[in-house]
Structure 1
Amino acid sequence: MKVSDAMTRQVATIAPRANISDAMRLMLRTHISGLPVVDRKGMLVGILTEGDLMRRGELGTEQKHPRWLSFLMGPGRLAREYVDSHGCTVEEVMTPEVITIHREAPLAEAVNLMEERQIRRIPVVHQGRLEGILSRADLMRAALSRTPGLVSADTSDATISERIAMEFDSQSWAPRTTAHADVRRGVVHLHGVIVNDAMRDALRVLVENIPGVIRVEDELTTVEPMSGQIVSLPPDRQAGLS
């Protein structure tokens, strides 16, 4: 998927010279935590987030430093902090350096940026002009739209088996030679040997995502690869030993 497949195109924005109180009201009214700041030409010039509004003089939460640290910081940085906490316009408080992405970029690239920079949203721009925004909520909506739904009852066991085999072949972690799946009336029985519980969970999830699967029966045996010792047996065999 590309960024354009998931992004929100109708985006609430604010002008640089807007009053900071108006920006707060807009954020509260629209239930958003970040406002792109756009000039008259539609060019993105910054972003105003909840984080930019935490240290405010109105709240008494502005930065306060010991005298020795204030001396080391110097008047320039202290003056910048004062503007951040007491500024009356958006451009005085906003973050001017904005991480952006292009609409044609792979969605995976956007997710990597969100994780690396620990941000919740990325403005989508083209030649500096704002075209939309991609948020974590947009990612959830995109994932939900791709979630397999209910399928018709005529999905054959052969088709399900073929799709499972294809998924096995596409995953480097899958135990192609030691585990296999039998499909009976939409119920998938997983047989064979695996080396850890993470692989067990992954196989179950892989099968659950195949259209037409009604239920997954775990009949796998976990074996410690170095010693060959059996770590866990399928539930039915465990019951027989108890």
Structure 2
Amino acid sequence: MMERQQFETMFSSLKEMNVRASDIMTTSIITASPDMSVRNAAGTMVFAGISGMPVVDESGKLLGIVTEGDLMHRAELGTGVRQRAWWLELVASTSELASQYVREHARKVRDVMTTDVATITESMPVADIADLLDRRKIKRVPVMRDGKLVGVVSRANLIRALVTMAPEVPADIESGDNAIREDVLAAMAGQPWALARENVIVEGGTVHLWGPVVGSDEGNAIRVAAENVPGVKGVVPHFGLPPTPSSQG
């Protein structure tokens, strides 16, 4: 839950700008063929500085994707899956054991690539792309147009977009303490970890957060919500302590 909240916070500015896959995707794509050797695929990724490649046939049709994860467990490197406990061997199906053997010993990309590949279109918003990468625990996703591969969006593309396209929150905005307090409360509104009104106090643009002891994830979410409010000069948590009655901003 907290990871989803952090992604939404990071990419809210890009979402408001209507940034989509077509705006940030890499179009100079390094691909692999299904008949490429595992050795050559590994070498290509190393020298290109990438951790995965789409696998396409001669017509450009996407067949799968080969990643570092697909090449981690290899017999020739001694990195194959360790011997299972005897009772796991008994319950493992013949199909599972055969599949493991192929991944550790196969010479061609077609035998080790991942075929269950998530794809997106050029019009997908960046917030949805970030959510997809997070949910599927993947680092990149192919971009398709009419069944053809036209680009790739990686986590690195999203971070570059955040740096180059998302507007900075002006640090010199002067807002009254009361207005800042209301904006901080509004930023947390509706969240299960939101602080009560009396636990948010602003003095000279510095937000003081009081209240009960909270977990680190909740505390970080509260702090981030306050930091993103224009005009805030600093955020000071005081969790576990009651608010000071003399400091009502």
Decide: shared fold, TM above 0.5: yes
1:148 maps to 2:168: yes
1:121 corresponding residue in structure 2: 140
Distance 1:189 1:84 in 2: 54
Q: Map Cα deviations across residues 154-176 of structure 1 (whole Å, 9 max, x no partner).
A: x3324x86466345325314446
Pick from 26, 29, 32: which aligns with 2:47?
29
Deviation of 1:71 (Å): 10
Gaps of 5+ in 2: 1-14
Which of 48, 67, 70 lines up with 1:49 in the alignment?
Answer: 67
Give the % identical residues.
31
- How many positions carry a matched residue from both structures? 220
1:167, 1:41 → 2: CA distance? 54
Q: SS of the residue aligned with 2:150?
A: strand
Distance in 2 (alpha carbons) for counterparts of 1:72 and 1:211: 57
Report the AA paired with residue 232 of structure 1. Answer: L
- Equivalence for 1:228: none
- The structure, 1 or 2, with the larger RCO (C-alpha pairs under 8 Å, 6+ apart) is 2
SS in 2 for 1:210: coil
1:59 aligns with 2:72: no
Where do 1:26-175 residues align within 5 Å? 26-62=44-80, 69=89, 73-74=93-94, 78-145=97-164, 146=166, 148=168, 151=171, 153=172, 155-158=173-176, 162=179, 165-166=182-183, 168-170=185-187, 171-173=189-191, 174-175=194-195
Contact 2:185-2:200 at 8 Å conserved across structures: no
Equivalents in 2 of 1:16, 1:53: separation in Å?
A: 14
Note the C-alpha offset of 1:49: 1.1
**Contact 2:54 2:66 (C-alpha < 8 Å) held by counterparts:** yes
Indicate whether 1:232 and 2:241 are aligned: yes
Name which one, 1 or 2, has greater alpha-carbon Rg.
Answer: 1
Distance 1:201 1:233 in 2: 19
CA contact (8 A) 2:37 2:108 kept: yes
Q: Report the residue type matching 1:119 in the other structure.
A: I
1:70–1:78 contact (8 Å) kept in structure 2: no
Contact 2:32–2:53 (8 Å) recurs in 1: yes
Measure, in 2, the Cα distance between the counterparts of 1:161 and 1:10: 51
Give, in whole Å, the separation in 2 of the partners of 1:126 and 1:104: 10
**TM-score, normalised via structure 1 length:** 0.68
Q: CA deviation at 1:88?
A: 2.5
Give structure 1 stretches of 5+ with no counterpart.
223-230, 238-242
3-state SS, counterpart of residue 232 of structure 1? coil
- The answer (yes or no) to whether the contact 1:161–1:183 under 8 Å persists in 2 is no
TM-score between both structures, scaled by the size of structure 2: 0.67
- Quick one: distance in 2 between partners of 1:23 and 1:180? 55
